[in-house]
Amino acid sequence: MTLRAGDPVGDLTFLRPDGSAVALSSFRGRPLLLIFLRHLG
């Protein structure tokens, strides 16, 4: 189901440039602008 405004976003895991994992929840506490790129270049 597509996320809609007001929906809680589940905790997702990303990889930092060094390969270590970081959870989306670690960015909570202030508003967060997420910019998803199509591809690099």
Residues engaged in binding another protein (CB under 8 A): 2-10, 12-19, 22, 24-25, 27-41
CB of 26 to another protein, least distance (A): 10
Considering only CA atoms, give the Rg of the chain. Answer: 12
Question: CA–CA separation, 26 vs 40, rounded Å?
Answer: 25
CB of 31 to another protein, least distance (A): 4
Strand partners, 14: 22
CB of 25 to another protein, least distance (A): 7
